[in-house]
Amino acid sequence: MTKLADRLHIYKSKLFDLIHDDMSFNLQQTDNLQKWLRLIKECLGFEKAFLYKCTKSECFLQGSTEEQGNDGTLSRKIFELSFGDTPYFMMDCRDPHFHFWFQFRNDMEETYVLLIQHSDGQSFDEDCLSPFWKASDQFLTLSWNVQKVYEEERRYRELFKVTEFFHSNRDVQTLLVQIIETLGEVFPEDEFRLLLSNDRYDFGTLPIKSFDFEKANPFAMQAFVNGSIELDEDSQTLYAPLRGKQGIYGVLEVGTASHLLFNEQKIEFIKLLAYTAGSALENAKLYEQSKRLISDLQLINETSHQLNLKFRLSDTLQFLKKQIERSFQPSAIGFVLNEPNKNKLVILEQSSSLFFTKEGEQYISYVNERINEERDSIFLGDVSDRIGDPGYLSLMAVPMTQNEELIGFCVVLHHDPYMFSFDMYKLLQSFIHHSALAITNATLREELEHMVITDHMTKLFARHYLDEKMESAMKEDDEGTLLLIDIDDFKAVNDNYGHQIGDEVLIQTANLIKEVVGESGSAARWGGEEMAVYLPYVERDEGYAIAKAIVETVSCRTEPGVTLSCGLSSWVKGDESCPSSVKELVKKADEALYIAKNHGKNQVVEDLDARLLIKP
């Protein structure tokens, strides 16, 4: 039988072979650990060997020569023992579980306990404990050092690889996914997640969450605020800030099992990874922001260019509405203008249908009150505490000003809360700022156009405008009717009541004519006390009925009372007996008016077969 000293010598030799054959020997790898434990059993003739890793709170079985392991009894018993600094000990031989224990510690302050059970009758005295422990300790120390170098190399290889990836990628979502994957490869037994601030990406099932400042862990908040590494020893959770040069973009949370402590090397690696990720994340965000700013500037430039093309007001607002829909995907858009002379708000027809309902009125009322009081834009993520039972929670509103005068405002709404970012709010301000001048110019242009084609006193169309409409109608329409109207004895009104009353009579008459004609035709001041009405698509009999209604209405409702004489002429396309030009149409209506005035006044006369007859 081989002496015990010889067996120890063989054991030492086998240890050398084991670590020489596999320089990456790692206690964390089950196969390598089992090789060592089997070596102990085979060389020294022990029956069983168990290796435990101990922490402050419990012990964990790392490996065993037995396939079944143990039921936890040994783990509890080891944890209850106080080993102190004693490296080895021979237990009471009456203990049925083990006979020797050996304690090993590495420079990471990790403690491992080796338990030995020998068969009955085997001799292994205390003189053998020391050489066995020294040989095993030297072996484990070398293994730990190799393991440490290997782990450091592997981690920093991963760090180099991910850093290289970070510097070649500018997509925020891709970067964050890469951080998660790298952590999973380097620390497969740990749990981790990213807590990000001000990000609205959809990460699906990935462990990436928004940083909740109200419910955040105090250590996580400390890491975010101070930019420092924080360790919660109670829960064995590490918090590392994702820090860039301009700010902190979130916190990396790493939780580990109680038997996998955070040593200096691990903390340093997590710190480097978090800082590298923070810098990469910052660069990606700055890149995205620059792209967004360039896109916004291009959009603003395009908008400004289009708005300066002398659009009509309706075209300007329709274009602006499309740009807002394209940029913000809102649920509703409202355009509101002030009418200073009438002291009221006008909701323009380009607005969403919501703003023409009672629900929309409460938004208009709230925004109008705020803007008139503060003269500033409004940006609200949730209006539920300001508007009762709101169907739209996100709100942006920007005033339209020109020469420091408030001309109106634009309101943009979304059903869901916090759907508009601050960047969207600033972009909307730019849109409205650039469009305010275009809206003002379009409004003034249309007012000027209206003034050019409108008689200042009566607000009827000017004669040249009606001439142009008739020229166009006789080219494109199938038929139409012209009424020439003159106020009877108007000179007597001026002589008896004065020119001011005469002007009032003209205005009354014009308003009554517009009231009777409505949308059927266009009324114009022909000259002096003469007026004209053109009725497109109106045949002779219907035109005559409208003319009769005008004459009767004016005679009954003017003060002082006046009467009208009216001449009627009509045309039908293809009828050679009808006037074929505006000049001829006017001539025939004027001849009919002449007959009406010279045959009793206060009546309508129409031209028939080139003969002027008085209608009975």
Cα separation, 565 vs 558, in Å, equals: 15
Summarize the chain as % helix, strand, coil (round to 5): 50, 20, 30
Among 49-53, 362-366, 533-537, the range scoring the smallest mean pLDDT is: 49-53
pLDDT computed for residue 256 by the predictor: 81
Q: pLDDT tens, 467-498? A: 989 999 999 889 999 999 999 999 999 999 99
Instruction: State residue 273 phi and psi, 5-degree precision.
Output: -65, -45
CA distances from 208 to 173, 175, 176, 179, 194 (A): 10, 12, 8, 11, 5
Q: pLDDT tens, 387-438? A: 888 889 999 999 988 777 888 899 999 999 888 888 888 888 887 887 766 6
pLDDT computed for residue 116 by the predictor: 82
Cα separation, 267 vs 252, in Å, equals: 12
Q: HSE of 493 in the Cβ direction (CA atoms, 13 Å)?
A: 19
Give pTM, 2 decimals.
0.44
What is the residue whose two structure tokens read 């858009």? Answer: 333
pLDDT computed for residue 538 by the predictor: 92
pLDDT computed for residue 609 by the predictor: 39
pLDDT computed for residue 88 by the predictor: 74
Structure tokens at 352: 């969403």
CB 398 within 8 A of CB 410: yes
pLDDT above 50: residue 615:
no
Structure tokens at 355: 């703003």
Among 98-112, 192-206, 416-430, the range scoring the smallest mean pLDDT is: 192-206
- The bridge status of strand 100-105 relative to strand 111-117 is antiparallel
Query: CA angle 317-320-322, nearest 5°?
Result: 110
Sheet order of strands, 111-117 included: 59-64, 48-54, 111-117, 100-105, 88-90
pLDDT computed for residue 271 by the predictor: 82
CA distances from 64 to 16, 182, 296, 336 (A): 21, 31, 66, 81
Average pLDDT over residues 547-552: 95
Average pLDDT over residues 519-545: 92
Among 72-81, 378-387, 536-545, the range scoring the smallest mean pLDDT is: 72-81
Work out the number of other CB atoms within 10 angstroms of the CB of residue 1.
6
pLDDT computed for residue 34 by the predictor: 79
The string of DSSP letters for 59-73 reads EEEEEESSSS---SH
Instruction: State residue 334 phi and psi, 5-degree precision.
Output: -130, 135
pLDDT above 70: residue 268:
yes
Domains of the chain: 4-150 (3.30.450.40), 169-287 (3.30.450.40), 308-450 (3.30.450.40), 463-612 (3.30.70.270)
**Which ranges of 202-263 does DSSP label H, i.e. alpha helix?**
218-226
Cα separation, 126 vs 92, in Å, equals: 13
The secondary structure of residue 92, as a DSSP letter, is P
Work out the number of other CB atoms within 10 angstroms of the CB of residue 575.
11
Cα separation, 610 vs 612, in Å, equals: 7
Structure tokens at 372: 């008139």
Q: Which residue has the higher pLDDT, 344 or 581?
A: 581
The secondary structure of residue 352, as a DSSP letter, is -
pLDDT computed for residue 334 by the predictor: 92
pLDDT computed for residue 73 by the predictor: 60
Query: In terms of Cα–Cα distance, which of 199, 197, 205, 200 is closest to 180?
Result: 205
Query: In terms of Cα–Cα distance, which of 436, 432, 309, 336 is closest to 379?
Result: 432
pLDDT computed for residue 509 by the predictor: 94
Tell me the three state secondary structure of residue 586.
helix
Q: Which residue has the higher pLDDT, 261 or 116?
A: 116
Cα separation, 504 vs 494, in Å, equals: 10
pLDDT computed for residue 89 by the predictor: 67
Q: pLDDT tens, 15-33? A: 777 766 655 555 555 667 7
CA distances from 83 to 14, 55, 111, 141, 241 (A): 29, 13, 11, 20, 39
Q: pLDDT tens, 342-401? A: 568 888 888 999 999 989 999 999 999 999 888 889 999 899 888 888 889 999 999 988
- The bridge status of strand 378-380 relative to strand 111-117 is unpaired
Tell me the three state secondary structure of residue 311.
coil
What is the residue whose two structure tokens read 């944890």? Answer: 79
Burial class (CB in 10 A: 0-12, 13-18, 19+), 487: buried
Cα separation, 521 vs 524, in Å, equals: 10
Cα separation, 353 vs 349, in Å, equals: 9
The mean pLDDT value of the chain amounts to: 80
Q: pLDDT tens, 302-320? A: 666 565 655 666 777 787 8
pLDDT computed for residue 610 by the predictor: 40
Q: What percent of the chain has pLDDT over 70?
A: 75
Which pairs with CB-CB distance under 8 Å and at least 24 residues apart come from 154-163?
A: 154/186, 155/186, 155/269, 156/269, 158/182, 158/185, 158/186, 159/269, 159/272, 159/273, 159/276, 162/273, 162/276, 162/277, 163/276, 163/280
pLDDT above 60: residue 605:
yes
Residue 323 C-alpha from the chain's centroid: 15
pLDDT computed for residue 611 by the predictor: 42
Q: How confident is the model at residue 612 (pLDDT cuts 50, 70, 90)?
A: very low
Q: What percent of the chain has pLDDT over 90?
A: 24
Q: How confident is the model at residue 563 (pLDDT cuts 50, 70, 90)?
A: very high
Average pLDDT over residues 113-118: 81
- Max mean pLDDT range (155-169, 177-191, 195-209): 177-191
Q: How confident is the model at residue 95 (pLDDT cuts 50, 70, 90)?
A: low
Structure tokens at 252: 């990396």
pLDDT computed for residue 534 by the predictor: 95
Strand extents, DSSP E, 325-388? 332-339, 344-347, 378-380
Average pLDDT over residues 50-66: 78
Q: How confident is the model at residue 1 (pLDDT cuts 50, 70, 90)?
A: very low
Amino acid identity of residue 399, one-letter, is: P
Q: pLDDT tens, 218-228? A: 898 888 888 88
CB 408 within 8 A of CB 335: yes
Cross-strand bridge partners of residue 490: none
CB 495 within 8 A of CB 516: no
pLDDT above 70: residue 64:
yes
pLDDT computed for residue 96 by the predictor: 57
Structure tokens at 218: 């105090």
Among 230-234, 380-384, 430-434, 514-518, the range scoring the smallest mean pLDDT is: 430-434
pLDDT computed for residue 593 by the predictor: 93
